[in-house]
Amino acid sequence: MSTSIHLDPWQVAASLTLVALAAAISFWQKADLERDIAVATVRSFVQLTAIGYAIKLIFEADTLWLVFGLLAVMVVFGALTARSRAKKVPDAFWPLLIALALAGGTTLGLVVALGVFEPTARYLVPVGGMVIGNAMTASAVALNRLGDEMADSRAKIEATLALGATAQEAAAPFVRRALRSGMITLVDSTKTTGLIFFPGTMVGMLLAGANPTDAVRLQLILLYALLGSVAIAGLIATALAYRNFFTSAQQLREP
Amino acid sequence: MLFELSKVSLTRGDRRVLDAVSAAIPVGVTAIVGPSGAGKSTLLRLLNRLVDPDAGTIAYRGRPLDECEPLALRREVSLVPQLPALLEGTVESNLAYAAGLAAKGLDAERCLRLAGLAVDFTARDVAELSVGEQQRVMLARALAQGPAVLLLDEPTSALDNVARDAIEATLAQLRRELDISIVLVSHDPEQARRLGDWVVRLEGGRAIEAGPIEEVMA
């Protein structure tokens, strides 16, 4: 069995038929998404082509500095993207940046230290991208929820502060719920994986002609690594971000 | 004096909520009165440092408030907000939480009795209580910390007349039984007259009058 697959540009172009179908459905049903579909299609093409060339260069150079550089760029863009979904959290960028950096660093560090993957560009770039991407989604969901909870529960939080509770104690129930909502999607999809959907890595390996047993093992490793990384990212993002709602005198800031 | 405010100002957005308020609040029961939007609730929140003023000073028993550690201050000067905001769980778990924060042993029966509630309330889920009952649990929860001062923000505004009279009777009882001072926000001058020894009248963020109730509200 071959472990690599070659695709011509015309095959990619042919798949645009499905994009046209999506745009047609949107137009027909007045879903008003045609413009977004066009933007998404162009952006995915440009971004993936660019990252494809970047990865090609990094694989050929095979120096870890370039790998770390690329992962650092992903962390920064991930934090910026997640911040736009956590508008109700004041100064959400730094908690998100630290959360993504630590989630990525810890997860990759552990899989390398445990000997699961070799510390080479070929493993670190794709695994790092998945880890940081999932950590970004989880921490964005967690902080979005945290912002809503803190806004809806101001009276309750202030009543708890009025008893002499610290900001941490007053925010604890809301931080807990935010962390849970950040993690729950991946936990649920991990539960149903193989039954309701086939995860991307496994699909990719099967399409590329890999042995199904290898495809399953790699997918399991990635799922478990992702569980760890979303937990770390959600924990750190919420644990740092809730502080921004309070002053140093344990007062709730004005919204 | 229990509290002394000197030229206290606070601005929120474009609005001057409190404008150079100077007033003294003695030991006993003080009513803060005035129309809606006068800054009464904000003044109350300043007294246990849930907010700090932009300008001016506040002293508690002669000590500047900004030198008081906020957490310890809030256990000694306990604020009960206008609307009940209890933690999920039972009445007892709420009382135990408050007592635990103040490192006090919990006598739930006594706290409930002082707040005018029967002892069988301990196991009740707070979500199943009426607003009036929740308001009493808020009071019992504050009392579980053994405070020296109670700050009550419109304690009867959400209640009908019967429940209001019952809470007022409870507050009068509290005063007789405990060595406790009360600062009470009320929009109702009659309530101030019934409960207070001293009154501070606010209007448009300014302190218009302050003094013994029989003089100011004569």
ipTM: 0.92
| pLDDT reported for residue A195 | 80
Question: Cβ(B177)–Cβ(B144) under 8 Å?
Answer: no
Instruction: Give the one of A160, A163, A250 whose C-beta lies nearest to B145's C-beta.
Output: A163
Both tokens of A233, joined, read: 């990212």
Instruction: Please name the residue of chain B whose CA is at the shortest distance from the CA of residue A155.
Output: B85
- Minimum Cα–Cα distance from A153: chain B residue: B85
Please identify every stretch of chain B with a pLDDT value under 50, giving residue numbers as ranges: none
Mean pLDDT, chain A, rounded, equals 92
pLDDT band at A254 (very low <50, low <70, confident <90, very high): confident
According to the model, what pLDDT value does residue A94 have?
Answer: 97
Residues 6+ apart with CB under 8 A from B168: B156, B191, B194, B195
Q: pLDDT value at position A139? A: 97
Nearest CA in chain A to B47: A162
Indicate if the pLDDT at residue A1 is higher than 50: no
Segment A30-39, tens digit of pLDDT: 999 999 999 9
Confidence bin at A4 (pLDDT 50/70/90): low
The alpha carbon of residue B91 is apart from the nearest alpha carbon of chain A, in Å, by 15
Which chain A residues are closer than 8 Å to B87 by Cβ?
156, 160, 173
CB pair distance less than 8 Å for B78 and A163: yes
pTM of the model: 0.86
Instruction: Please tell me the predicted confidence (pLDDT) of residue A2.
Output: 45
**Chain B residues touching residue A155 (CB < 8 angstroms):** 81, 83, 85
Amino acid at B60: Y
What pLDDT is recorded for position B174?
Answer: 86
CA–CA distance, A126 with A111 (Å, rounded to integer):
13
- CA-derived radius of gyration, chain B: 17
User: Which burial class, exposed, middle or buried, applies to A227 when counting CB atoms under 10 A from its CB (0-12, 13-18, 19+)?
Assistant: middle
What pLDDT sits at residue B89? 95
Contact status, residue A71 vs residue A132, Cβ threshold 8 Å: yes
Judge: B70–A249 Cβ closer than 8 Å, yes or no: yes
Looking at the DSSP assignment, which residues form a beta bridge with residue A197?
A: A193
Render pLDDT for A88-124 as a digit per residue (tens, 0 to 9): 999 999 999 999 999 999 999 999 999 989 999 989 9
Query: What confidence tens digit (pLDDT) does each residue in B185-207 have?
Result: 998 889 999 999 999 999 999 99
pLDDT tens-digit map of A190-211: 988 888 777 888 888 888 888 9
Nearest to A16 by CA among A31, A36, A38: A38
